[in-house]
């Protein structure tokens, strides 16, 4: 008997005589091993067992991906995705399944190592389940004292990446009812119908959460988590603990506890942590409370130490953080507090040994729109500076404005963020191919050439020179910062566009420019450093333009740019002196000169298909198929965060963190001196902010020298790790070739003017 042999091999004295079957024998054997402090099942055994199960599941559903999840994990840690069988090449399905299942043991080991549960006596249980990519993730806040149980609304946590939530928004009956009424009044039938479905689902989830909690005698706070798909929802799990995002709920509702023997005797609790303490101390004595509305909507943005591609970035130092503004709720662990004695900001080092979360930023409102607008304002004015510092602040600013610019009621699924990042990466890739200075010079030369008279040409030349920094500086910032660009494009897509291959301004470019400086938090302020605001002489020109168009609006009775353009192209309107009108026409020409450069931004959106990622009438999001391609997603992640520039004979650290040469102690190293590696094969593991990342080779070659002496060393991004001999010699592109390529790409934009 295998079980008896196992007991004998491990010197465990067990009497199996009272066991009815093999299952009972196995349980007795496991219990004895726990008592003896030994493992009779190790990670390799679990990997082999899961590999067999994976083959069955991959065969049954060859188009589906599967998730390996260690029991001890949470928050995205201890999980890995197993690719679908049909994503592999193979003559038969059996061949594809074999290739897909081959990596299961190593994935299991990665899950356990990431959680540091691969030692003797650790919980090594690992689940395999079908990975559902296109669902919405909602959770209900549940509270109970062991006898009664109630709910406090829901939270939508669908905006997440690597199972880590990024933006969480409240889901309340009050807000949904108001949103339905607004949609009905606007004749948005499909939107109203979807909102009604969401309201019905919320009511059902809250009822089921309360029934579930009462059945299990929940005596604290819990979270009833569900998957929402269409008109249905499915129970996922119940967490009997408070969640990081609990503030989203407590900002919407408070609880009133009333003495059942004296209705006039009551008290109100606004903190869920305080509620937990009350339940722990007085649970059975507490009457069932009544929930009272505080705000109809709230939203929470998790600010993390991650780079532009949302990958953990450790080692940065926060040297300054602006103070919270009115309406901003900031939970930052005290990081932004000043020294109480000197009122000087205390520098904070973002060590790689901790989770990447820095702060939780929250806002409230009477509806989802006002809540997001307040969050956008918080993100707009937040100033966070330091050395080697990377956060997702710009990502959140772009994302929040994407929803404000498309449809605030959009219902994203859990697979939204990566395609969104990919579309932002495409913007950055296209932006890198353009030459802003060259484009502006060409626009100026063409305008001057089309102007008659030497004096007029000289005047226009001076205007273009005077306005160059005013017009190009904010554009240069957004071309460098693609998340800002994504937010700006989303908000301004109705103000200027490319129609039939040509640029069309639907709003006054100078007003768009003023709004752009505000969007970038670069409004003129005498106390600001010049590098952080519009320059004073540029601000004078901009304010003169705004004052001019305000006066024109008063004269014409409209601010419609098309109407103003046509009026200024004709004779003086009644009541306006012809000479004064001539001056107005000249001023208009001067103010509009060079503004065509603003069209560079929607041109990027047009060429990359940025606006193809859009919200449908039923609030679902249309994700173009190309944005879901795995290879393109990986490429755009590298565009957003380019790898360190290396010589052809070395491999540099892709990120900072703790270096490991093998998967686990005692296992063979990925590479040693003399090892040949192929592109895509693992070279090392870096642990950064509790996440273990296996770094693969960017190209093929042979290791000539290992530059890191031992495992566990802290490395920095760009640090040389290996000396190598590449299989192919890299061909360097000359600066002149780069210049020619960028100018050629820029010419395609100029032709659209």
Crossing angle of the two packed helices 189-215 and 173-185, in degrees rounded to 10: 170
391-422 pLDDT, tens per residue?
Answer: 999 999 999 999 999 999 999 999 999 999 99
- Residue 657 tokens, joined: 């963190």
Predicted local confidence at residue 750, as pLDDT = 87
Judge if 324 and 450 occupy the same domain: no
Give the other-Cβ count within 10 Å of 351's Cβ.
12
Nearest to 545 by CA among 598, 457, 470: 470
Q: Is residue 50 pLDDT above 90, yes or no?
A: yes
pLDDT of the residue at 400? 98
pLDDT at 330: 96
Question: Helices then strands (H, E): number in the chain?
Answer: 22, 29
**Cα gap 82→618, rounded to integer Å:** 32
Let me know the angle formed at the C-alpha of 744 by 741 and 745, rounded to the nearest 5 degrees.
90
**Across residues 646-652, what is the average pLDDT?**
87
Among the ranges given (21-30, 180-189, 263-272, 297-306), the one the predictor scored with the smallest mean pLDDT = 21-30
Q: Are residues 553 and 659 in the same domain?
A: no
Whether residues 537 and 473 share a domain: the answer is yes
Domain boundary among the residues 85, 110, 130 is at 130
Q: How many CA atoms within 13 Å lie on the side-chain side of 209?
A: 30
Does position 305 have pLDDT exceeding 80, yes or no? yes
Domain at 706, CATH number:
2.40.50.100
The sign of the torsion formed by the CA atoms of 293, 298, 303, 306 equals: positive
pLDDT of residue 148: 97
Residue 735 in any domain: the answer is no
Query: How much is the pLDDT for 447?
Result: 93
Over the stretch 92-134, which tens digit does the pLDDT of each residue have?
Answer: 999 999 999 999 999 998 888 888 888 888 888 899 988 877 7
487 and 453 in a single domain? The answer is: yes
Do 583 and 503 sit in the same domain of this protein?
A: yes
The pairing of strands 357-365 and 614-615 is: unpaired
Please give the mean pLDDT across all residues of the chain.
92
What pLDDT is recorded for position 7?
Answer: 86
For residue 746, tell me if it sits in a domain: no
Mean pLDDT score, 676-681: 91
Neighbours of 458 (CB within 10 A): 12
Domain count, the chain: 5
| Tens-digit pLDDT profile for residues 134-184 | 789 999 999 999 999 999 999 999 999 877 899 999 999 999 999 999 999
Residue 350: what pLDDT?
Answer: 87
Is 687 a residue whose pLDDT tops 80? yes
- What pLDDT, on a 0 to 100 scale, did the predictor assign at position 75? 67
| Residues 272, 277, 279, 281, Cα dihedral to 10° | -170
The answer to whether residue 548 is domain-embedded is yes
Q: Is the pLDDT of residue 704 over 90?
A: yes
Q: Across 20-29, 309-318, 336-345, which has the greatest mean pLDDT? A: 336-345
The CA–CA distances, whole Å, from 244 to 64, 143, 304, 328, 689 equal 31, 16, 13, 17, 17
- CB 659, CB 721: distance < 8 Å: yes
Q: What is the pLDDT of residue 675?
A: 94
Which pTM does this prediction carry?
A: 0.88
What pLDDT does 647 receive?
Answer: 82
Asked if residue 446 and residue 593 are part of one domain, the reply reads yes
Non-local CB neighbours of 711 within 8 Å, separated by 6+ positions = 659, 660, 661, 662
Q: Determine, yes or no, domain membership for 213.
A: yes
Residue 151 pLDDT = 98
For residues 114 and 150, membership in a common domain is answered with no
Q: What are 509-541's pLDDT values in tens digits?
A: 999 999 999 999 999 999 899 999 999 999 999
Residue range 318-333: mean pLDDT, rounded: 94
Residues 282 and 346 in one domain: no
- Percent of the chain, pLDDT > 70? 99
- What CATH number is associated with residue 278? 3.30.470.20
* Complete edge-to-edge strand list for the sheet that includes strand 348-349: 348-349, 317-321, 384-387
Domain shared by 437 and 497, yes or no: yes
Q: Model confidence at 2, in pLDDT bands (50, 70, 90)?
A: confident
Is residue 367 a contact partner of residue 295, using CB atoms and an 8 Å limit? no
pLDDT at 353: 65
Question: What is the per-residue pLDDT for 631?
Answer: 92
Pair type for strands 66-74 and 77-82: antiparallel
Our CA dihedral for 151, 157, 158, 159, rounded to 10 degrees, sits at 160
User: Are 381 and 446 members of one domain?
Assistant: no
Inside any domain, residue 616: no
Q: What is the mean pLDDT of residues 213-242?
A: 91
Of 295, 316, 340, the residue at which a domain comes to its end is: 295
Residue 624: inside a domain: no
Residues 265 and 403 both lie in one domain: no
Rounded to whole angstroms, what are the CA distances from 164 to 125, 229, 356, 593?
21, 20, 10, 47
> 430-475, pLDDT tens digit by residue?
999 999 999 999 999 999 999 999 999 999 999 999 999 999 999 9
DSSP 8-class letter at 90: -
Neighbours of 730 (CB within 10 A): 11
Q: Do 455 and 584 have their domain in common?
A: yes
Query: Which residues are bridge partners to 384 per DSSP?
Result: 321
- Mean predicted confidence (pLDDT) in 261-274: 95
Name the most confidently modeled range: 209-223, 561-575, 661-675. Answer: 209-223
The Cα 463–Cα 475 span in angstroms is 18
Give domain status of residue 632, yes or no.
no
Task: Choose between 499 and 690: higher pLDDT.
Answer: 499
Q: Residue 731: is its pLDDT beyond 80?
A: no
Question: What range defines the domain where residue 693 resides?
Answer: 649-726
Whether 149 maps to a domain, the answer reads yes
Q: Specify whether the CB–CB gap between 622 and 612 falls below 8 A.
A: yes
Q: Is the pLDDT score of 63 beyond 80? A: yes
Q: Which of 271, 295, 319 is the last residue of a domain?
A: 295
Q: What is the per-residue pLDDT for 419? A: 97
Q: What is the mean pLDDT of residues 379-389?
A: 95
pLDDT of residue 336: 92
């Amino acid at each position: 008997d295998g079980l008896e042999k196992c007991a004998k091999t491990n010197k465990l004295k067990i009497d199996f005589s009272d066991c009815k079957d093999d299952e009972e024998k196995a349980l007795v054997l496991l219990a004895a091993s726990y008592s003896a402090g030994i493992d009779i099942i190790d990670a390799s055994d679990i990997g082999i067992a899961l590999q067999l199960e994976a083959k069955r599941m991959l065969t049954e559903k060859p188009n589906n991906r599967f998730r390996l999840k260690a029991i001890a994990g949470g928050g995205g840690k201890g999980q890995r995705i197993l690719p679908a069988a049909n994503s592999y090449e193979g003559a038969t399905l059996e061949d594809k399944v074999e290739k897909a299942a081959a990596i299961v043991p190593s994935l299991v080991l990665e899950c356990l190592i990431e959680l540091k549960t691969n030692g003797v006596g650790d919980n090594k249980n690992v689940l395999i389940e079908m990975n559902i990519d296109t669902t919405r993730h909602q959770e209900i806040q549940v509270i109970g004292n062991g006898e009664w149980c109630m709910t406090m609304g829901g939270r939508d946590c669908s905006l997440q990446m690597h199972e880590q939530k990024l933006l969480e928004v409240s889901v309340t009956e009050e807000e949904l009812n108001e949103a339905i009424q607004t949609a009905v009044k606007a004749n948005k039938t499909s939107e109203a119908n979807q909102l009604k479905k969401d309201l019905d689902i919320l009511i059902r989830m809250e009822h089921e959460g309360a029934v579930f909690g009462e059945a299990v005698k929940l005596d604290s706070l819990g979270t009833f988590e569900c998957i929402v798909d269409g008109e249905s929802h499915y129970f996922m799990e119940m967490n009997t603990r408070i969640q990081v995002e609990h503030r989203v709920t407590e900002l919407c509702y408070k609880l009133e506890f009333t003495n059942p023997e004296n209705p006039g005797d009551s008290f109100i609790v606004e903190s869920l942590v305080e509620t937990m303490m009350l339940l722990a101390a007085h649970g059975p004595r507490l009457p069932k409370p009544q929930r009272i509305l505080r705000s109809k909507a709230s939203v929470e943005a998790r600010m993390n130490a991650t780079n532009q591609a949302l990958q953990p970035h450790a080692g940065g130092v926060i040297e300054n953080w602006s103070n919270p503004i009115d309406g901003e709720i900031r939970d930052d662990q005290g990081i932004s507090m000043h020294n109480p004695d000197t009122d000087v900001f205390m520098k904070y080092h973002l060590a790689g040994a901790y989770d990447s979360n820095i702060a939780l930023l929250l806002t409230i409102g009477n509806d989802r729109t006002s809540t997001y607008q307040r969050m956008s304002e918080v993100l707009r004015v937040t100033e966070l500076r330091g050395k080697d510092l990377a956060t997702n602040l710009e990502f959140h600013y772009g994302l929040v404005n994407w929803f404000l610019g498309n449809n605030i009621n959009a219902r994203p699924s859990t697979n939204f963020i990566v395609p969104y990042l990919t579309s932002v990466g495409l913007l950055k890739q296209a932006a890198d191919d353009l030459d802003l200075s060259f484009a502006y010079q060409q626009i100026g030369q063409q305008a001057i050439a089309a102007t008659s008279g030497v004096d007029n040409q000289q005047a226009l030349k001076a205007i273009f020179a005077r306005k160059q920094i005013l017009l190009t500086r904010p554009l240069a910032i957004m071309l460098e910062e693609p998340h800002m660009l994504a937010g700006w494009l989303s908000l301004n897509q109705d103000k200027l566009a490319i129609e039939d291959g040509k640029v069309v301004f639907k709003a006054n470019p100078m007003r768009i420019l003023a709004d752009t400086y505000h969007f970038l938090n670069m409004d003129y302020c005498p106390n600001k450093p010049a590098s952080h605001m519009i320059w004073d002489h540029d601000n004078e020109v901009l304010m003169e333009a705004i004052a001019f168009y305000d006066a024109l609006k008063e004269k014409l009775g409209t601010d419609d740019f098309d109407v103003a353009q046509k009026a200024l192209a004709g004779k003086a309107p009644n009541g306006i002196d012809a000479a004064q009108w001539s001056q107005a026409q000249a001023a208009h020409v001067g103010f509009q000169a060079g503004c065509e450069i603003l069209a560079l931004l929607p041109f990027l959106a047009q060429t990359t298909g940025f606006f193809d990622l859009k919200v449908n009438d039923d609030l679902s999001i249309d994700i173009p198929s190309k944005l879901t391609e795995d290879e393109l997603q990986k490429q755009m992640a590298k565009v957003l965060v380019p790898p360190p520039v290396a010589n052809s004979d070395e491999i540099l650290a892709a990120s900072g963190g703790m270096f490991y040469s093998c998967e686990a102690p005692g296992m063979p190293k990925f590479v040693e001196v003399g090892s040949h590696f192929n592109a895509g094969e693992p070279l090392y593991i870096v642990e950064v902010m509790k996440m273990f990342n296996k770094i693969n080779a960017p190209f093929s070659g042979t290791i000539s020298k290992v530059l890191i002496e031992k495992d566990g060393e802290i490395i920095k991004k760009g640090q040389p790790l290996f000396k190598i001999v590449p299989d192919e010699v890299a061909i360097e592109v000359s600066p002149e070739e780069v210049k020619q390529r960028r100018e050629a790409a820029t010419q395609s934009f100029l032709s659209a003017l």
